[in-house]
């Protein structure tokens, strides 16, 4: 089977959030047995020392091998769409990814190989489904089926139809105004209407996006196409997130160890973390938050979790920052407020080593999301015996079950969060119950091998 992924990100060469790791995990999962190629933009910050380079029609193509995946990077000799310091955050982002969607298909047409599955990811590449069926299929490009995975429906790539005119197609055709009340071109909607299968990144999220609250204006489009909509949970790279062989932690453990060794080594890692962050060295319950401080992740509830943990005589660590100035300012004020408190540590600069140590040392990981399509934090926490405290939403609802492998709360409210923090810390003091929960968690399998089976069945059912 020949599978081609089009994505804005790919780990480890271009990554902002979970998208890069998901595309990498999925591609590498199939590359053992199938012919897999991933196509991304050639951003200027990507250094390619051993890449093979070629050109066609003012387009540069770079090819490298990462593990067993053929990675193709595409850039333009005419425009500077990808000669930027960041992947996103520019006024012409829609222009950039419209262009990328178009030249990716042009590259595949020139290559001349039949494709079994073209797999698109989020709004950045969704237009490719429409471009193929309306234009490139007639030119001779052969693609059997197109799959669109939606990682976050809030980001849709809305823009003027005139932006599509720049690549010499009739932009007004893709507004979908009459039936779905869309006033602009919606690039994600192009993928919804033109793809053969739509995958949301968790079963619960696939139901949530059918509603007005979580559909963000596309709920009617999803309802119209619900027969081709499904939900598949993402996975994590268990070789990267492996407490037995993690190079960033000193005291290792695994699900095969007895519970005493797991607790002892987590406690030793906690002491190292406390020392590293200049916190009090003790065995108070340690609750942490690791992630972006953006509205989706519930920053107001993160602050409430910190306050409640402090009231319950626990310790709290934050590792995360925000691109939203008002939120960043709020957390900077919080850091100043707790500057002299040795039970609180707030860290803005992302540090890979520190993130691993936080997972290995913490007793709890708070995930108070407003919405969460899938979530990887809870899966990583399971691996490290760190109990998730999560809101029952999206992929969190599909993976974290109250008093079985974590603690959950339903409403997005400070009151609900305070109650579950108290409950979690009281539970932490009951060693018999705690032992059982840790053993349940640490034996869970959220590897890409599990995800691959579901995607393989999806591909197979589409093709045969």
In 3-state terms, what secondary structure has residue 117? strand
CATH of 2-235+449-463, one of 3.40.50.970, 3.40.190.10, 3.40.50.300, 3.40.50.2000: 3.40.50.2000
DSSP letter at 228 equals G
Compute the distance between CA of residue 118 and CA of residue 131 in angstroms, rounded to an integer.
Answer: 12
CA quadruple 431, 437, 443, 445: dihedral sign: negative
Q: What is the pLDDT of residue 323?
A: 86
Per the DSSP assignment, residues forming a β-bridge with 63 are: 52, 72
- With contact defined as beta carbons under 8 Å apart, do 267 and 454 qualify? no
CATH class of 259-444: alpha beta
Q: What is the pLDDT of residue 176?
A: 77
Count how many Cα atoms sit within 13 Å of the Cα of residue 293 in the half-sphere of its side chain: 26
Count how many Cα atoms sit within 13 Å of the Cα of residue 388 in the half-sphere of its side chain: 32
Residue with tokens 């690549």: 167
Q: Which residues contact 8 (CB under 8 A, 6 or more apart)?
A: 14, 19, 40, 41, 87, 88, 97, 100, 121, 122, 124, 125
Would you state the structure tokens that stand for residue 130, as one six-digit string?
Answer: 């429409």
- With contact defined as beta carbons under 8 Å apart, do 209 and 200 qualify? yes
The pTM of the full predicted model, rounded to 2 decimals, is 0.94
Q: What is the pLDDT of residue 182?
A: 64
Give the total residue count for the chain: 464
- With contact defined as beta carbons under 8 Å apart, do 122 and 10 qualify? no
Q: What is the pLDDT of residue 175?
A: 84
In 3-state terms, what secondary structure has residue 162? helix
Q: What is the pLDDT of residue 330?
A: 96
Would you state the structure tokens that stand for residue 304, as one six-digit string?
Answer: 């409430």
Q: pLDDT tens digits for 221-271? A: 999 999 999 999 999 999 999 999 999 999 999 999 999 999 999 999 999
Name the H helices within 166-311.
177-180, 187-194, 203-208, 212-215, 219-224, 259-276, 299-311
Q: Taking the domains of the chain in order of start, what are their residue ranges?
A: 2-235+449-463, 259-444
Residue with tokens 């598949």: 232
- With contact defined as beta carbons under 8 Å apart, do 76 and 96 qualify? no
Compute the distance between CA of residue 114 and CA of residue 116 in angstroms, rounded to an integer.
Answer: 7
Q: Say whether 259-444 and 2-235+449-463 share the same fold.
A: yes
Q: Pick out the chain residues at pLDDT < 50.
A: none
Residue with tokens 């008002």: 326
Compute the distance between CA of residue 60 and CA of residue 427 in angstroms, rounded to an integer.
Answer: 58
Would you state the structure tokens that stand for residue 184, as one six-digit string?
Answer: 């602009």
Instruction: Determine how β-strand 115-121 pairs with β-strand 2-6.
Output: parallel
Q: What is the pLDDT of residue 177?
A: 66
Q: What is the pLDDT of residue 376?
A: 95
Q: pLDDT tens digits for 6-17? A: 999 999 999 987
Would you state the structure tokens that stand for residue 120, as one six-digit string?
Answer: 């698109």
Count how many Cα atoms sit within 13 Å of the Cα of residue 306 in the half-sphere of its side chain: 22
Q: What is the pLDDT of residue 276?
A: 97
Compute the distance between CA of residue 365 and CA of residue 342 in angstroms, rounded to an integer.
Answer: 19
């Amino acid at each position: 089977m020949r599978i081609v992924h089009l994505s804005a990100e790919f780990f480890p060469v271009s990554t902002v959030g979970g998208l890069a790791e998901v595309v990498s995990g999925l591609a590498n999962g199939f590359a053992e047995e199938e012919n897999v190629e991933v196509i991304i933009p050639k951003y200027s910050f990507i250094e390619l020392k051993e890449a093979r380079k070629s050109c066609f029609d003012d387009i540069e193509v770079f090819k490298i091998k990462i593990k067993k995946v053929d990675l193709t990077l595409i850039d333009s000799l005419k425009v500077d769409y990808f000669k930027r310091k960041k992947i996103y955050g520019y006024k012409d982002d829609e222009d950039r990814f419209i262009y990328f969607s178009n030249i990716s298909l042009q590259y595949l047409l020139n290559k001349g190989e039949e494709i079994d599955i073209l797999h698109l990811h989020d709004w950045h590449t969704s237009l490719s489904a429409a471009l193929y069926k309306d234009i490139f299929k007639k030119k001779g490009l052969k693609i059997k089926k197109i799959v669109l995975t939606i990682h976050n429906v809030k980001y849709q790539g809305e823009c003027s139809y005139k932006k599509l005119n720049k690549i010499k197609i009739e932009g007004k055709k893709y507004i979908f105004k009459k039936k779905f009340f869309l006033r602009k071109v919606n690039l994600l909607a192009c993928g919804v209407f033109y793809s053969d299968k739509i995958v949301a990144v968790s079963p619960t999220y696939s139901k949530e996006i059918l509603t007005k609250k979580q559909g963000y204006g596309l709920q009617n489009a999803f309802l119209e196409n619900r027969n081709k909509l499904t939900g598949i949970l993402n996975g994590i790279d268990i070789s990267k997130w492996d407490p037995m062989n993690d190079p960033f932690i000193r005291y290792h453990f695994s699900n095969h160890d007895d519970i005493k060794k797991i607790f002892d080594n987590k406690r030793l890692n906690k002491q190292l973390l406390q020392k590293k962050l200049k916190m009090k060295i003790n065995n108070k319950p340690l609750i942490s938050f690791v992630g972006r401080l953006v509205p989706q992740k519930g920053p107001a509830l993160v602050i409430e979790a910190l306050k409640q943990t402090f009231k319950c005589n626990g310790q709290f660590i934050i590792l995360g920052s925000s691109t939203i100035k008002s939120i960043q300012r709020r957390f900077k004020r919080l850091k100043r407020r707790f500057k002299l408190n040795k039970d609180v540590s707030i860290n803005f600069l992302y540090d890979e080593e520190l993130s691993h140590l936080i997972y290995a040392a913490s007793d709890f990981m708070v995930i108070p999301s407003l919405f969460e399509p899938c979530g990887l934090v809870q899966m990583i926490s399971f691996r490290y015996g760190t109990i998730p405290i999560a809101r029952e939403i999206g992929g969190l609802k599909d993976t974290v079950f109250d008093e079985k492998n974590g603690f959950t709360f339903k409403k997005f409210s400070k009151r609900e969060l305070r109650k579950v923090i108290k409950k979690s810390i009281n539970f932490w003091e009951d060693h018999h119950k705690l032992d059982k929960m840790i053993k349940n968690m640490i034996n869970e399998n959220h590897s890409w091998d599990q995800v691959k089976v579901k995607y393989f069945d999806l591909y197979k059912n589409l093709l045969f």
